[in-house]
Structure 1
Amino acid sequence: MDGLNTRRIVLLGKTGAGKSSLANTIFGEATFKINHFNDLKTHFCEAETKSVNGRSITLIDTPGFFDPGRSEEDMKPEMVRCITECAPGPHAFLIVLKVEKFTEQEKAVITKMCEYFSEDAFKYAAVVLTQGDQLPEGMTIEEFVNESEHMSDLVKKCGGRCHVVDNKYWKIKQQDEYRSNQFQVAELLNTIDKIVLENNGGYYTNEMLQTVEREIQKEEECIRLSSGNMTQEEIRQQAKSRVLEKHLNKAPRTWIRAFVGLAIIAGLLATVLKSTFMKVLTEVYHITPLATVVDEQIAKTARVSPPVSAIEKVVEVAITPVEAIQKTFDAVLNKLYD
């Protein structure tokens, strides 16, 4: 399948909203694993590409990014995976909700979406409600949405784009064409075509997605030089895997650097503060402590500068070795991770 003409679609929503089931409904087969037990540890970002109604589509199924109880730290690996999979950017976001009351949790999903992406993402978004069997007889999804002010506002933000499916009961052919997954998926794909058209054939992107895409392209060039008979799709997949691995490995490295760096600085500044305290004991209370290198530096500087300037200069002297140590530490880390 031609990657250039593939539509990248990200499914967003809390755990249990039916994202994975919706992805399977769109593909018409059980491609994505359904997480029946809401076990957050086993639910991770997945991406699959298939041809649907003559279109090449990549669906990116996200874990519960917006679930209460999931820490930012816990979600970082999955965010990195999602960004890598949809780089240089998704053509559409599907905000997945159930046909039920719009609660504070649903509001939190939208707030988080704006935090992770931006308000611009709504230009590329459509709302898809699952469990369509709960829709009252004879009622359209637009009528259901209009009964809730918050849900209505959300759909308006998404340009009025709203669809409904039922991943369980609408699999067989229904007498009412409207209550048919086949009909609704066709309508949804038409909506995605319109989203792409309205955005001049483009996709949602931001600085982070563009940076990741540049990294992927750089890896593609390296792989291509020694790829042999690899297809472009295989090269792309391997490049994404390499970039993902690099970004996932950066997390502990950054944490170690920050932790040790802070420890070094804290230790040296503690020495400076201790020495300043000793100086006060010596000059004000005439108590003579054991001489230290920093005490001598303060004493020398104090003769030609006011006390505050003296302390500032000693801190400056202390910070210089901190920078040197930090650079050495970075060099060691770079060697370890190269």
Structure 2
Amino acid sequence: MEGCTTQNEIHQEEKERAGSSEGEQTDPKERDLRLVLLGSAGSAKSTAVDAILGGPKSESDCSSGPETPAAADCQKRRVNVAGRQVAVVDTPDCLCVERPSEEVRRQFSLCAALSAPGPHAFLLCVPVHRPSNLELQILETLEKVFGPEAVSRHAMVLFTHMERLPEDVSLDEYLNTHRADLLELVLKCGGRHHPLWPEANMEELLEKVEQMLKESGTGFYTCPLLQEAERRVGEKEQEILRSRRGGGESDSDVTDVERIREEAERSVDDLVVEGIADLCLSIPNPSILRWLWDSVVGWLLWFPNMIRGSALLGSFVGLFVGGPLGGAMGATVGSVATEMGRRKQKTK
């Protein structure tokens, strides 16, 4: 994206700021391998988070705070994997589907702040047995918010529900011969993918992330939104330090770098995210949906001869409503129409 500075320049600025404000202590964001996990509902994203962290919240710090609902907000947890400090930023399902624009903006702000100065990798959790429509939508959203290279150079597909893979078929064979839609996701991510098996060894995944970074030639991914997030987090860190020193707190409290960093990250939730209105799906008013449903059912009752076109009718409803909700509603209407048709045939 235009206006980006190099990762080396950002690293240098971080080191200078850390050296001036925290003495000889190591800045936590310099040690972390930052991974942002994305996925739709049912993608086993929480399973992937736990696998990377070694179990549900085991040996990890939950920096979302006790008042933050785990499933509602972006949150970050840390763990040491094979001698490497790993920070996992867990995002809400789909991050933006059917959410108000203000909530979408807040979640992207949190995601940027928690992964600032920039993620080393975006991991997209994809169920190996499901269509890829929602996952393609997530990649498109990622490109719009963070830039095309976030996907092409710093994203990887993490296949989940691997137990649903057909027996005696390798993952690569499955992608190449049976699932062109999933293969498209992998190709958008530069051909990078990793299967998440039960009891998987996470070292292999981290090695693939390290290899991706070598191939990209960058230390981590950055863009204007992430740079602004890092600037705001840095300002908040200094504000917290001044407040604690002025309040007469002990040196150990004042210089607790990781806690100060976490508090600063959680406070940045109001960044300007371009194109939010385009990212949010418009949800029809419930009263309109009710009217539409009653109208469709009434139509079916009064015009039984139209039942033969049940599939067409369901498709029409799905198209009219739009989005995932429309698809589900269209399928339901089609099923109702088909069943009514069968019952009518039995009564003849």
TM-score class, shorter: 0.5 to 0.7
- Does the CA-based 8 Å contact 1:127-1:161 persist in structure 2? yes
**Paired residue type of 2:210:** D
Q: 1:164 to 1:234 in 2, by over 3 A?
A: same
- Does the CA-based 8 Å contact 1:10-1:62 persist in structure 2? yes
Give 1:41 shift. 9.8
Higher RCO, 1 or 2 (CA under 8 Å, sep at least 6)?
2
**Paired residue type of 1:231:** D
1:233 is aligned, of 247, 251, 258, to: 258
1:31 is aligned, of 36, 48, 57, to: 57
User: Residue 149 of structure 1 corresponds to which residue in structure 2?
Assistant: 180
Does residue 1:212 correspond to 2:241, yes or no?
Answer: no
Give 1:241 shift. 3.2
Give 1:201 shift. 4.1
- Does the CA-based 8 Å contact 2:123-2:158 persist in structure 1? yes
Give 1:14 shift. 1.0
Does residue 1:17 correspond to 2:46, yes or no?
Answer: no
Q: 1:241 to 1:73 in 2, by over 3 A?
A: closer
- Does the CA-based 8 Å contact 1:141-1:163 persist in structure 2? no
Q: What pairs with 1:197-276 in structure 2 (closer than 5 Å)?
A: 197-225=214-242, 226-227=244-245, 228-229=251-252, 230-244=255-269, 247=270
Give 1:133 shift. 0.6
Structure 1 residues 199-233: Cα deviation after superposition (integer angstroms, max 9, x where no partner) = 33421111111012112112223334445322221
SS at match of 2:156: strand
SS at match of 1:3: helix
**Paired residue type of 1:23:** V
Using the size of structure 2 for normalisation, the TM-score is 0.60
2:129 is aligned, of 90, 95, 100, to: 100
Unaligned runs of 5+ in 2: 1-25, 63-68, 246-250, 274-348
User: Residue 69 of structure 1 corresponds to which residue in structure 2?
Assistant: 98
Unaligned runs of 5+ in 1: 34-39, 172-180, 252-338
Distance 1:73 1:231 in 2: 33
SS at match of 2:268: helix
Give 1:103 shift. 3.7
Structure 1 residues 230-284: Cα deviation after superposition (integer angstroms, max 9, x where no partner) = 222122123223434xx38x99xxxxxxxxxxxxxxxxxxxxxxxxxxxxxxxxx
Distance 1:243 1:103 in 2: 32
Structure 1 residues 90-125: Cα deviation after superposition (integer angstroms, max 9, x where no partner) = 000001110114343232222222222221112001
**Paired residue type of 2:54:** G
Give 1:31 shift. 1.8
Give 1:159 shift. 2.2
Distance 1:93 1:106 in 2: 13
2:155 is aligned, of 125, 132, 151, to: 125
Distance 1:60 1:155 in 2: 21
Q: 1:217 to 1:152 in 2, by over 3 A?
A: same
- Does the CA-based 8 Å contact 2:159-2:196 persist in structure 1? yes
Q: 1:27 to 1:144 in 2, by over 3 A?
A: same
SS at match of 1:47: strand
Give 1:74 shift. 3.1
Moved runs in structure 1, 4+ residues, more than 6 A? Answer: none
Structure 1 residues 124-176: Cα deviation after superposition (integer angstroms, max 9, x where no partner) = 0110011111112232222222232232122122222111114xxx23xxxxx
Aligned residue pairs total 228
SS at match of 1:73: helix
- Does the CA-based 8 Å contact 1:142-1:162 persist in structure 2? no
Identity of aligned residues (%): 29
Using the size of structure 1 for normalisation, the TM-score is 0.61
2:85 is aligned, of 56, 67, 74, to: 56
Q: 1:42 to 1:91 in 2, by over 3 A?
A: closer
Q: Which has the larger radius of gyration?
A: 1
Q: CA RMSD in A?
A: 2.6
Distance 2:97 2:70 in 1: 14
Q: 1:137 to 1:51 in 2, by over 3 A?
A: same
